[in-house]
Amino acid sequence: MSKKMSRAPVYLALAQVRFNRLLALDNYAPTIQEALRKLGYPDFRKVMAQTFSLNLAGSIEGGQAVPATAIAQYVFSNMEKTLGFILLQDSLTYMATEYDVFETFSQRLLEGLRIIDSTVGGLSYTDRVGVRYLDAVFPDTGDQLSHYLNPSVFGLVGKIGGELTHSFFETRSQLNNATLVSRVIVQPGPVGIPADLQPLLFELPERFRKLNGLHAVIDNDGFTESRMKYDGARLKSELFMLHDEIEKAFKLAVTSHALGKWK
């Protein structure tokens, strides 16, 4: 099993499996909620999110507003709202702001999938598996941020005059059937949440909420897209493969000095 870092910089981890759409999800939700409550996720919320159907021709020619569609998100979390699931008609996401190690993290997602599979009488297929990590890199007192990051991802920070607003570095690579997107954002201020993950439905730990200053966010996002018959063993294998590739990218982005600080 992996060894947990004593000062791990990860402030948000998520893993997602997308599956065949369940139009009768409202009917299954009470049974799923009861099973997840017994598993340690007693807090339940149903959140309505707005999505937009873009019909540019109609919007421009007719002067009509872009129509919004409400999507139900079923949120199941622990009492502290630091661990939990987000269930949609076609996906299950497990999120953690109090991260342990990947073995337990991935196991929780797979347990949630087994509950859904059993409740609905069997999932038919999956067509996307994803793992994503957000790490907040703040230098210790007496250190500089440059001591923690590989120079190749640090950009021109500190080399261009004026006050830094942000620096953005991104690499996208294809690894057989997987895609890995690795981003490093350097900016001043508190720890932020990427726009595509807002609003965050879970609570950040106090140790991250109180941080403020020049820092880097390392955002590693790995995923596979292929429609295949639902198979728990295959999903576990894909999750670990994605995690391993993300771990490689993370270690390439930081220095041995940083790893020594976090171990």
Q: What percent of the chain has pLDDT over 90?
A: 87
Look at residue 4 and tell me if it is in a domain.
no
Average pLDDT, the chain: 94
Q: What angle (nearest 5°) sits at the alpha carbon of residue 201, between those of residues 198 and 206?
A: 100
For the residues of 57-101, what is the DSSP string, one character each? Answer: HHHHHH-PPPPEEEEEEEEEE-TTSSEEEEEETTEEEEEESS---
Residue 62 has pLDDT above 70, yes or no: no
Residue 56 has pLDDT above 60, yes or no: no
Answer whether 100's CB lies under 8 Å from 175's CB.
no
Residue 91 has pLDDT above 80, yes or no: yes
* Structure confidence by residue, pLDDT tens digits, 125-160: 999 999 999 999 999 999 999 999 999 999 899 899
Query: Residue 54: which pLDDT band, with cuts at 50, 70 and 90?
Result: low
Look at residue 5 and tell me if it is in a domain.
no
- Give the pLDDT confidence score for residue 51 in this predicted structure: 74
Look at residue 106 and tell me if it is in a domain.
yes
Tell me the Cα Rg of the chain: 20
Number of structural domains (the chain) is 1
Query: Residue 2: which pLDDT band, with cuts at 50, 70 and 90?
Result: confident
Look at residue 2 and tell me if it is in a domain.
no
* Structure confidence by residue, pLDDT tens digits, 107-125: 999 999 999 999 999 999 9
How far the first Cα of the chain sits from its last, in Å, is 15
* Structure confidence by residue, pLDDT tens digits, 152-209: 999 899 899 899 999 999 999 999 899 999 999 999 999 999 999 999 999 999 999 9
Answer whether 140's CB lies under 8 Å from 134's CB.
no
Look at residue 55 and tell me if it is in a domain.
yes
Look at residue 157 and tell me if it is in a domain.
yes
Domain range enclosing 71: 10-262
- Give the pLDDT confidence score for residue 3 in this predicted structure: 84
- Give the pLDDT confidence score for residue 148 in this predicted structure: 98
- Give the pLDDT confidence score for residue 53 in this predicted structure: 59
Look at residue 83 and tell me if it is in a domain.
yes
Look at residue 1 and tell me if it is in a domain.
no
Query: Residue 85: which pLDDT band, with cuts at 50, 70 and 90?
Result: very high
